[in-house]
A and B are shown apart, each in its own frame.
Chain A
Amino acid sequence: MKKFLAICTLASASAMAAPTLINGAGATFPFPLYSKWFSEYAKVKPGVQVNYNSIGSGGGIRQLLDNTVHFGASDAPMTSEEESKSTVKVLHVPTVMGSVVVTYNLPGVTKALRLSPDTVAGIFLGKIAKWDDAKIAAENPGVALPKTAILVATRSDGSGTTAIFTDYLAKVSPEWKSKVGAGKSVKWPVGLSGKGNEGVTGLVKQTPGAVGYVELIYALSNKLPVAEIKNVAGNYVMPSIESTTAAAQGVQIPEDFKVSITNASGKKAYSIAAFTYLLVYEKMKDPAVTAELVALMKWALTDGQKFAKDLGYAPLPAALAKRALGAVAKVKAEASANVAR
């Protein structure tokens, strides 16, 4: 009997020993959610193991193009230059939405600051240099603004967060667009830079008079004060999961999902929001991996969505999730496909 049991355990162990391995790499922005997803998915489907390296969107795109991973992840859609490097079509699958918040350190100011797009651009351009500037004061009547200088804190490392924030500023300020532009790393007109969200958080938290931008989840978990941003409809909106979801509703989302939802027109929309994407080849080589990857993405777009809110991400609107599922179904294995191992 003992022997029989031992053989059974051995047999099941060897069946377990060869799980399907799916490798991915990319954005750090959705990493907390992705790592939750992949560990939850391992419980649902024990035979599949997902390795995700959060090396940054740029790195994820590069590794996908080099065929060293099965899927990439990015906060910004791939550029046409990047897409031209691949012979096979790359699908952009939106997974969730996130937002970037303007956070500040003003001792004594307890009410959330209200900022218009013009003011935000002015601050980050260095044109508004004092907290008691007339522009800020006009939007915040009754708030005792200090006479101190504004210390701008930005990200020093290339980052999807920066890409979203500068995309927004370039949309609302022609001066920003011509002087600085949008991208993962830009030449900041003023201020200091810290590495990573923790670097910016550190600068803002310790420096009275500082202002910076971080991901929503960072502001929530560190209890940082965040500004209400005036949206296209003219309302001052507090960043939250609801106002992030609202940002996607006012926007026509194209067939390939490659769209910027910053400065959205919805009444309740928060202005600095974005989709984050999984990047997969439409034709993949290994049938087993392809089947499992498709199943994983389907799960993420359905059951997986419920994990988003707790981690500060907005789930996809139901109609959009449905469209994304349709796109995922297109991913096929093809023996002749010269990509993705």
Chain B
Amino acid sequence: MPFARKRPKDINAGDRRFLMGMRLSGIAVLLLLLSLLFYLYRLAAPALERFGVWNFLRGRDWNAVEEIYGALPFLYGTLLSSLLALFFAVPISIGVALFLNDIAPRRLATLLGFLVEMLAAIPSVVYGLWGLFVFVPFMRQYIQPPLLQYFDFLPLFEGAPYGVGLLTASFILAVMIIPTITAISREIFRTVPAVQREGALALGATRWEALRLAVLKPSTIGLFAAGVLGLGRAMGETMAVTMVIGNRPDISTSLLAPAHSMASVLANEYAEATSDLHMSALAGIGLALFLLSFVVNASARLVIWRVGRAWK
């Protein structure tokens, strides 16, 4: 009898403890984020005070010897390489996702889907080494010379065929974000009710028309969000980019010119930044990257959330 009396009480206590634990975990994430932001800001404060936030962000000079630090070349490199990567990756990813979801036989779809996910599992330094030793020579020999030869009237293709550079980095990034965008696009296509496709086909639409009107069109906003999440991943990518982008803090209109990125400069200079101001300027770049990724990811989540609600 005492046993029976004790049990419900215990369960209640357990429930309470469980609830408490879960709440603590939730709060911990929030605290982690805030403390990260706080410490980054505290570390970056000397540089931001010295140059002013606005001047730091738009400064084009990065010179550790003269202690002048401006973040613009890195902002430019990160944004442009990521957006270009997105430009290459989105059509391919949507194509793959549509193929896997609507066209491929189920067995092939399972296999292909698995392979695409495997791409995401490859460590980024492996992409970087492959880029440096295989892809860069390929770009230098077969891609960049014809671009320079036939499109030299465009300011986009100027200079020498170095192999490394912004365009090369964008290609590598595109390969790296394809799995992310494909996976999310597939999820979005799955939310389209089968009745809708069948309805379109029943009304006499061809397969292309059915996919376009019944699947792609209602998915537009979701696909946008998938792209933005891919963008977030591309912006934070470090090792692969730093090995192929050329690491030159310059702003050039040419896509073949070497450039730099925010994540690369952190990886490159953090270990040997002896002066306090150098360290602080690097923290400032870290803070800017943090906020940029945060905004990009948050906006994507917001869009996905709204789409999900609209479907319900």
Contact = CB atoms under 8 A, between A and B. Distances in A.
Q: Do A and B bind each other?
A: yes
Interface of A: 55-59, 61-62, 79, 81-82, 149, 151, 156-160, 180-188, 191-195, 199, 202-203, 206-207
Interface of B: 61-66, 132-133, 136-137, 140, 160, 162-164, 242-243, 246-249, 258, 264, 267-269, 271-275
Nearest to B68: A187
A207 B163 contact: yes
30 contacts: A56-B271, A58-B274, A59-B272, A61-B274, A62-B274, A81-B275, A156-B242, A157-B272, A158-B64, A158-B269, A158-B273, A181-B65, A182-B65, A185-B64, A185-B268, A186-B65, A187-B63, A192-B162, A193-B248, A194-B243, A194-B247, A195-B242, A195-B247, A195-B267, A199-B243, A202-B133, A203-B164, A206-B136, A206-B140, A207-B163
Contacts of A206: 133, 136-137, 140, 163
A185 B163 contact: no
Nearest to A27: B272
Nearest to B137: A206
A131 to B, nearest CB: 13
A202 B137 CA distance: 10
A82 B274 contact: yes
Contact of B248 (A151, A183, A191): A191
A327 B274 CA distance: 26
A50 B309 CA distance: 59
Nearest to B269: A158
A182 B63 CA distance: 11
Contact of A180 (B65, B248, B249, B264): B65
Contacts of A57: 272, 274
A206 B129 CA distance: 13
Nearest to B64: A185
Nearest to B276: A81
A206 B136 CA distance: 9
A39 to B, nearest CB: 24
Nearest to A186: B65
Please provide the 4 A-B residue pairs with the shortest distance between their CB atoms, ordered closest to farther: A158-B272, A156-B247, A193-B247, A56-B271
Nearest to B133: A202
B271 A195 contact: no
A157 B270 CA distance: 8
A181 B264 CA distance: 23
A167 to B, nearest CB: 12
Contacts of A58: 271-274
Contact of A186 (B64, B160, B243, B264): B64
A59 B246 CA distance: 24
A55 B271 contact: yes
A160 B274 CA distance: 12
B274 to A, nearest CB: 4
B233 to A, nearest CB: 21
A15 B36 CA distance: 44
B132 A202 contact: yes
Given A156-B242, A182-B65, A199 B160 contact: no
Contacts of B247: 156, 192-195
B33 to A, nearest CB: 26
Nearest to B258: A192
Nearest to A208: B140
A316 B62 CA distance: 37
A149 B136 CA distance: 18
A280 to B, nearest CB: 18
A82 B279 CA distance: 14
A175 B61 CA distance: 19
A192 B246 contact: yes
A333 to B, nearest CB: 28
B262 to A, nearest CB: 14
Contacts of B140: 206-207
A207 B271 CA distance: 28
Contacts of A56: 271-272
A195 B162 contact: no
Contacts of A194: 132, 243, 247
Most buried by A among B242, B258, B268: B268
B230 to A, nearest CB: 25
A303 to B, nearest CB: 31
A180 B62 CA distance: 12
B242 A187 contact: no
A184 B258 contact: no
A86 to B, nearest CB: 14
B61, B66, B160, B247, most chain A CB atoms within 10 A:
B247
Given A58-B273, A151-B162, A157 B61 contact: no
A82 B275 CA distance: 8
A158 B65 CA distance: 11
Contacts of A180: 65
A180 B64 CA distance: 10
